[in-house]
Amino acid sequence: MMLITRKRLLGAMSPIALMLAGPAIAQTAATPPAAAPVATVDADPALWVVKDDDTTIYLFGTVHVLKPGLSWFDEGVKKAFDASKEVVLEIPLPSDAEAQKILLPLVVDPDGPPLTEKLHPEKRAAYAAVLAKLGFPPTAFDKLYPWFAAVTMSNILLQKSGYDPNSGAERAIDVAAKAAGKPVTGLETLEQQLGYFATLPEADQIAFLELGVDDFDDGIKTIDEMVANWTKGDPEALGAVMNRDIDRLPKLYKILLADRNVRWANWIDERMKKPGTVFIAVGAGHLAGKDSVQVQLGTHHLAATRVNY
């Protein structure tokens, strides 16, 4: 999938569509071999805090799918989590059955022509070649809307490259919060998140998919770079990687990142009016770059301070 696609999926979109992409269609991709045990690697991703006299809000940037073996939920991150009385994710994580019920009506095009015919003629051979690399026949996604074909292709490549939705940060935080009896709420709903893609005009969905085909071979190298920057807590470098190609799909960038950051900063501003300690975990892409949540908080005269640990 194109670089902006994979980067937004890992750093700016909830893990739900990623986790469900495979089960939502016929499972024709080859199952990867079982991974060998991996050594634990220490990770120190960035953490911020916004506070006043009676309210403390931690901001933690997540990666939605990770490779096993990263030790990140410890030290400063765990201390902030333990101190918080409530947890806020992008969305409350639903069960697979609940998510499938919402997702499936949005991904299959019952009336349109086959997906391959929607692509520009000069892109069809490259698209078929990408599907072949993933272990699929060229017509495998013909019933899918273009946006979900793009997400599905990216999901499969990520998993073949060793990334695992079940190793993503949200899963660990959600499990820990429920075990500790902390309430878990969301900044958005699953319907909202899927709607960002599903309501795109078809021409934009096709552009989304075709750019993914163009950049397919370079995608994982860039994702590895992004995760490495997240692991060492370097949001500036992370933002630079994520913003390399924002001009290629400006509408999607605005919908997936910039507009949501404005809304989330508004939410934090309102929450600061009530006492308490809150742990917010959102995709790391929202906490890096020129349109970050921290930048938007500045319009409310709120300062997000980096937590050193």
Return the domain boundaries, the chain: 3-24+41-306
Contact 90, 188 (CB under 8 A): yes
Position 245 scores a pLDDT of 67
Task: Give the per-residue SS3 of 217-240.
Answer: HHHHHHHHHHHHHHHCCCHHHHHH
Helices 219-231 and 3-11: crossing angle in degrees, nearest 10, is 30
Q: What distance in Å separates the CA atoms of residue 61 and residue 48, rounded to the nearest whole number?
A: 9
- Residue 245 has a CB neighbour count (10 Å cut-off) of 16
Position 31 scores a pLDDT of 45
Contact 171, 64 (CB under 8 A): no
Q: Which two tokens stand for residue 290?
A: 């020129």
Position 203 scores a pLDDT of 94
Position 247 scores a pLDDT of 66
- Residue 198 has a CB neighbour count (10 Å cut-off) of 16
Q: Which two tokens stand for residue 114?
A: 């086959």
Q: Which residues of 119-128 are buried (b: 16+ CB within 10 A; e: fewer)?
A: beeebbeebb
Which residues are CB-neighbours of 95 under 8 A, at least 6 positions away? none
- Single-letter amino acid code for the residue at 299: T
Position 61 scores a pLDDT of 95
Q: How many CA atoms lie within 13 A of 16 on its CB side?
A: 25
Position 168 scores a pLDDT of 87
The tens-digit pLDDT sequence of the chain (309 residues) is: 334 444 444 544 444 444 444 444 444 344 445 555 567 899 999 999 999 999 999 999 998 889 988 999 999 999 999 999 999 999 998 888 888 888 888 999 998 899 999 999 999 999 999 999 999 999 999 999 999 999 899 888 988 899 887 888 999 999 999 999 999 999 999 999 999 999 999 999 999 999 889 989 888 888 899 899 999 999 889 888 877 766 678 888 899 899 999 999 999 999 999 999 999 999 998 999 889 999 999 999 999 999 999
Q: What distance in Å separates the CA atoms of residue 304 and residue 279, rounded to the nearest whole number?
A: 13
Position 108 scores a pLDDT of 92
- 244 by DSSP, 3-state: which? coil
The gap from C-alpha 145 to its chain's centroid, in whole angstroms, comes to 19
Q: What distance in Å separates the CA atoms of residue 164 and residue 147, rounded to the nearest whole number?
A: 21
Provide the H-helix boundaries in the chain: 3-11, 16-21, 75-83, 96-107, 115-118, 124-134, 146-160, 169-179, 190-198, 202-214, 219-231, 235-242, 250-253, 259-271, 293-298
Which secondary structure element, helix H or strand E, spans residue 59, and what is its range? strand 55-62
- Residue 255 has a CB neighbour count (10 Å cut-off) of 18
Edge-to-edge strand ranges of the sheet holding 55-62? 184-186, 86-89, 276-283, 55-62, 47-51, 305-306
Position 4 scores a pLDDT of 42
- Residue 271 has a CB neighbour count (10 Å cut-off) of 16
- Single-letter amino acid code for the residue at 263: R
Position 1 scores a pLDDT of 35
- Residue 210 has a CB neighbour count (10 Å cut-off) of 21
